[in-house]
């Protein structure tokens, strides 16, 4: 896909429009949060000065907390990081752990989400004929699918049509056309909404659809959008007739729940067409503006029964975020009598049925079942020929590192595409800190010379692929609400492989020599940064 959007203005070489009140609010909130952290640590430190009882108490808490962390069923690398921080900097370590150390939702929010999921199980039932057919065709794909169904909660479907887009600008025109065809409802959920051409043209269509009687619902993450949207943008949308939720509003208080962001990218139209991937609703994602060189991204369009999973996911999130009962049966109707869905009227956007299987899924920070990461690990472990990966960040656990290296040492062609121009320099340093162990283990790493990679894709053995919102970093794999789509033998797999392979041809392959950092200061800094992986 190489379509480009039409625009009446040249590419602007600066970021999205910034809203001064929103920016001031964000930075004041950030300053207040830092001040609260310093105040808590200072009070504890001041009280501990010359006070044997408080010092002893801190040591007891540090040791007890360390023993507790070591007993938890979490990654070994995270145990080591937290243990080091707590024992060597007890005040900072203890306060930081209670803020960032437990990725799961708080007890109250967890029970709320579990209650929502408990009453939607009837809408997430597998079709035995589909699963048995997959078991016969490919036992490995069946096992992956069963894991997703059992622990991610969403079933697999036969492919009707899947379409891959190798950039946001390739996706955008067809996405707009699909929105215009909506007759019943539109669900939109993104981490980032940013004012500009992409959001503006989307809202033009949505406002028209509202006038036509189409139900429009939108969820956007407050933290993700706080600097590029007017304040209380949800109220602006509501006045236009668009039901809107500003997810987990950012507040100037130290709070565990501020870590749990809605990082998903979901568009559902009439329970018939859906989109997911890495693309958000902001101009950099369609390269209408330039921020970090060329913005490399990806998305997938899915039609047919598999769309049902994303419809249910959105309704569950809406019910969780707003405590509003939703009529699932109403939105899951197929509207088969509507001429809009007659194939003869829809051939341009819905080609003939595919031969594969597709399984949209999501990952909640409910427990320590890291569905997104385990789907990736399963793909790596079952690959026989190759695994190609694209990710904006590479801040991974020792388990993921070991899986990638073991695959490479077993003769699998393991390649990872990351940006050459980062969006966050500190995070990029942490990404580079993982190069050495991977490259020395036989993994090929490519830095994308034209700019920034925001794609989140895996493809393996010409059989399997995942496309979604899940990055290879701690926050995405443990803290955030995420989504993805698992594909077996669908039409997009060859397109994903072609896209990633082509991007690697215009990238720089990282050599072993480059990984051997000779600057002692930089090497030490990278080692220290790795200790803070659980907070990145």
Whole-number pLDDT of residue 43: 55
Whole-number pLDDT of residue 11: 41
First to last CA, the chain: 33
Q: How far is CA 486 from CA 156, 269, 409, in A?
A: 9, 20, 25
Q: What is the DSSP string of 279-307?
A: --BSGGGGTSB-SSBEEE--EEEEESTTH
Eight-class DSSP state of 535:
G
Whole-number pLDDT of residue 345: 42
Whole-number pLDDT of residue 139: 96
d(CA 5, CA 390): 24
Whole-number pLDDT of residue 16: 45
Whole-number pLDDT of residue 5: 38
d(CA 417, CA 166): 14
Model confidence, pTM = 0.85
Q: How far is CA 127 from CA 147, 310, 330, 424, 465, in A?
A: 15, 17, 21, 43, 21
Strands 386-390, 508-509: pairing kind: unpaired
* SS3 category, 411: coil
Domain formed by 161-356, architecture: 2-Layer Sandwich (3.30)
Identify the residue whose tokens are 């925001």. 454
Whole-number pLDDT of residue 34: 58
Whole-number pLDDT of residue 123: 92
Cβ 493 vs Cβ 432: under 8 Å: no
Whole-number pLDDT of residue 343: 44
Joined together, the tokens standing for residue 193 give 């909404």
Domain residue extents for the chain:
20-100, 161-356, 371-535
Whole-number pLDDT of residue 227: 80
Whole-number pLDDT of residue 9: 40
* SS3 category, 7: coil
Whole-number pLDDT of residue 33: 52
Secondary structure of 437-494 in the HEC alphabet? HHHHCCCEEEEECCEEECCCEEEECCCEEEEECCCECHHHHHHCEEEEEEEECCCHHH
Whole-number pLDDT of residue 213: 96
> Which residues does the chain have with pLDDT short of 50?
1-16, 18, 20-21, 335-337, 339-352
Whole-number pLDDT of residue 134: 96
| Assigned superfamily of 371-535 | Endonuclease Chain A (3.30.870.10)
d(CA 297, CA 457): 10
Burial degree of 348 (CB within 10 A; 0-12, 13-18, 19+)? exposed
Q: How far is CA 141 from CA 146, 240, 481, in A?
A: 9, 45, 24
Residue 473's closest CA among 422, 507, 408? 422
Q: List b or e across 315-326, with b for residues whose CB sees 16 or more CB atoms inside 10 angstroms.
A: bbbbbbbeeeeb
Residue 74's closest CA among 95, 103, 100, 110? 103
Asked whether this chain's domains 161-356 and 371-535 adopt the same fold, the reply is yes
């Amino acid at each position: 896909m190489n379509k480009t959007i039409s625009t009446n203005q040249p590419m602007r070489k600066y970021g999205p429009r910034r809203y001064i009140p929103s920016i001031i609010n964000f930075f004041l909130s950030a300053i207040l949060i830092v001040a609260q952290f310093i105040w808590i640590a200072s009070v504890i430190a001041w009280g501990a000065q010359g006070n044997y009882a408080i010092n002893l108490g801190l040591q007891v808490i540090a040791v007890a907390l360390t023993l507790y962390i070591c007993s938890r069923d979490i990654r070994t690398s995270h145990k080591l990081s937290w243990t080091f921080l707590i024992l060597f900097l007890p005040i900072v370590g203890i306060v930081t752990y209670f803020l960032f150390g437990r990725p799961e939702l708080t007890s109250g929010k967890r029970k709320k989400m579990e209650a929502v999921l408990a009453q939607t199980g009837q809408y997430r039932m597998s079709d035995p004929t589909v699963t048995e057919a997959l078991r016969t065709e490919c036992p490995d794909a069946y096992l992956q699918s069963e894991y997703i169904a059992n622990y991610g909660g969403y079933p697999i479907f036969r492919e009707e049509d899947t379409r891959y887009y190798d950039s946001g600008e390739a996706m955008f025109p067809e996405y707009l056309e699909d929105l215009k065809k909506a007759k019943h409802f539109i669900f939109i959920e993104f981490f980032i909404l940013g004012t500009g051409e992409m959001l503006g043209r989307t809202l033009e269509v949505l406002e028209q659809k509202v006038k036509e009687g189409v139900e429009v619902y939108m969820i956007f993450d407050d933290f993700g959008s706080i600097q590029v949207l007017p304040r209380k943008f949800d109220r602006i949308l509501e006045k236009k007739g668009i039901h809107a939720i500003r997810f987990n509003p950012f507040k100037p208080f130290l709070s565990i729940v501020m870590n749990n962001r809605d990082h998903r990218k979901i568009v559902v139209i009439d329970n018939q067409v859906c989109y997911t991937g890495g693309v958000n609703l902001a101009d950099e994602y369609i390269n209408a503006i330039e921020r970090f060189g060329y913005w490399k991204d990806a998305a997938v369009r899915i039609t047919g029964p598999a769309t049902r999973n994303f419809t249910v996911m959105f309704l569950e999130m809406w019910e969780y975020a707003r405590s509003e009962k939703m009529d699932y049966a109403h939105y899951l109707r197929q509207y088969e009598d509507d001429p809009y869905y007659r194939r003869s009227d829809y051939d341009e956007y819905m080609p003939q049925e595919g031969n594969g299987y597709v399984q949209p899924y999501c990952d909640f920070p409910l427990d320590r079942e890291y569905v997104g990461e385990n789907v990736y690990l399963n793909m790596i472990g079952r690959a026989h020929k190759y695994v190609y990966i694209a990710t904006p960040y590479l801040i991974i656990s020792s388990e993921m590192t070991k899986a990638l290296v073991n695959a490479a040492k077993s003769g699998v062609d393991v390649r990872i595409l990351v940006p050459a121009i980062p969006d966050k320099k500190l995070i990029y340093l942490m990404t580079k800190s993982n190069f050495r162990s991977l490259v020395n283990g036989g993994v090929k790493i490519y830095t994308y010379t034209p700019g920034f990679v925001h794609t989140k894709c895996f493809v393996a053995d010409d059989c399997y692929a995942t496309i979604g919102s899940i990055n290879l970093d701690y926050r995405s794999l443990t803290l955030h609400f995420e989504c993805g789509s698992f594909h077996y033998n669908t039409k997009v797999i060859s397109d994903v492989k072609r896209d990633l392979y082509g991007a690697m041809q215009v990238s720089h392959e990282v050599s072993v020599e480059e990984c051997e950092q000779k600057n002692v200061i930089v090497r030490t800094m990278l080692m220290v940064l790795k200790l803070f992986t659980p907070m990145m």
